Structure 1
């Protein structure tokens, strides 16, 4: 489909075989819970968008995110070296999004944040189906990473669901793809291709609930010769449809609703993650985390992204089980008011 919002002002809902060309949110017929039509200012204020690019390998873990929250532009980047336990991380918060730009084309365009000599840039290239990450920091850190969904063929999860009484959330997820590139930083000099690194990617936007919470799990890696990716979530996209799935050599396999069982006050303690249909049974053990906390009254966030190892089993229907043995990945525990 060319546009997510139809001529009648309502979104297309469901799980799509391919991404929409444009998230044309300004064409959405946004109304109050009591049915009053809302104007351009409310459409701008309520619309939020974020994009995330993650790197996974035994030698280096990394993540970079950009978010457009209307009243603020937010970005973070971190790198974690499992062998030494050392970590580099930076956070940026720019009022009204000054110094940022965000494309509303999920498969094409640039999202970036500039702050002084620092640049966080995520580029999606429609013709080649490539996702590219460029980070340049004033301390000399440089990250260049890229992957393609074309060679070998990969089927992303593309979904749009209702959110609350008057909202919707479009999400596009990828995990279990090999990536190429280079990382230069105080932790060392890393060639992502030589390391056999994997990547995952998240592009999300919409009119999310004014207060929302989610848990999320993602892993990427190899089980023998099989490329495996996983995307599970609880709290955002469960209205009629869910984004839960895993990938085997790029083939998307749908999963039912999931339960995250963990101690919110001790997020580095083990997590248990199970799907209702029995296709996923995993244990996650955290090795480190990136966290942010903000509370300025009208906006608040309590965010924890934990990186560590998954063990357990995936049970695709009608196929042999896939044993997961200490594969690196991420989980999140996030509360936000916006």
Structure 2
């Protein structure tokens, strides 16, 4: 079972001795202060400044679910370049359109290293993506694919994100902050039509750190209404698994830490159903893909192979108080990702 105890979020993630503060946090870290991190190689020698700069990676992701569309937008800074993508999935037509960015580190994108404030952006003009964070509240601004978005993601009263830092590999660490079941407000215009947001839900993901040279993860995310409850779910395997996990269920904003999860699927069969199950069976879900977005880049010394699926979840989730939630064809997202950086 996961640790049920959290600590107050520190203002700075790196302590006065140059070490990251590990564990689950109640709240958001103000600054990652990566300059203060004492980074050593596998033989215990201090890493030079250039290598330290290049080894830091960062991602930001926003997903918005309406009764008719799923909109997802992401940016990543892997230091050698900046990337971004947007896709729009039409639920009723089962169609997906997408746009992407690949920018030089010298121009074309900018990232804030704070999970609580700052602005990140990629692209310009009629094809641009920006994410602003103001005291922990996320704002998505987007223009591309015949859509425009200017949305604020509002969390339920007293609701907290999952925020944690765990060791990664021999000498690295990863900070992850995610929140599902958020309420988007503002404007979303698709093909010239303003979209109603009264039933829309959203989520965000901020992940950063000194990750493994070869990193991989499996991930699942849900934003839905179940009877009279707003349900948000985040499940992952592959990165944050030392001492605690990022697996969380939100029920009307209340956060429930969940146990470790196993993702069982055949990545070589695109339409293959996934099985997501915990050791004691308090999470037991199947996921059947409808559509997917994939991206591969192979430069030898830099590689990425990412597939993000949209599909239906069925099965059972049990929260930390023993209450059970049955999912019946609930639309959500999964991802199977590999990177060599």
Q: TM-score, normalised by structure 1?
A: 0.94
Contact 2:111–2:119 under 8 Å retained in 1: yes
- Aligned mates of 2:113, 2:22 — CA distance in 1: 17
Aligned partners of 2:257 and 2:320 also within 8 Å: no
* C-alpha deviation, 1:192, in angstroms: 4.3
From 314, 322, 326, the counterpart of 1:323? 326
The offset of 1:116, in angstroms, is 5.4
Name 1:22's counterpart in structure 2: 31
Q: Determine helix, strand or coil for the equivalent of 1:265.
A: coil
Aligned twin of 2:294: 291
How many Å separate the matches in 2 of 1:189 and 1:180? 16
In 1, the alpha carbon distance for the partners of 2:338 and 2:100 equals 18
Sort the Cα spacing of 1:22 and 1:292 in 2 relative to 1 into closer, same or farther, 3 A: same
| Aligned-partner Cα distance in 2 for 1:191–1:216 | 28
* Correspondence for 2:227: 224
Q: 1:130 aligned to 2:137?
A: yes
Distance 2:264 2:124 in 1: 38
Which residue is equivalent to 2:91? Answer: 82
CA contact (8 A) 2:258 2:320 kept: no
Q: State the Cα distance separating 1:179 from its structure 2 match.
A: 1.7
Query: Residue deviations 1:178-235, cap 9 Å, x none?
Result: 222333234x6242423x1111110010000000111001101111111111111110
- SS of the residue corresponding to residue 52 of structure 2 reads helix
SS of the counterpart of 1:41? helix
List alignment gaps of at least 5 residues for structure 1.
Answer: none
- In structure 2, the partner of 1:4 is 13
Q: Name the SS for the 2:11 alignment partner.
A: coil
Deviation at 1:2, TM superposition (A): 1.3
- 2:130 is paired with a residue of what secondary structure? strand
Give, in whole Å, the separation in 2 of the partners of 1:147 and 1:33: 41
In structure 2, the residue matched to 1:199 is 202
The question of whether the paired residues in 1 share the 8 Å contact of 2:130 and 2:141 is answered with yes
Q: Would the aligned equivalents of 2:218 and 2:335 in 1 still touch at CA under 8 Å?
A: yes
1:185 corresponds to 2:183: no
User: Alpha-carbon deviations, 1:57-87, whole Å to 9, x = none?
Assistant: 3310110000011010000001010111222
5+ residue gaps, structure 2? 1-9
The alignment's C-alpha RMSD in Å is: 1.5
8 Å contact from structure 1 (residues 56, 328) kept in 2: no
1:35-56 alpha-carbon deviations (Å, 9 max, x no partner): 1101221111000001000012
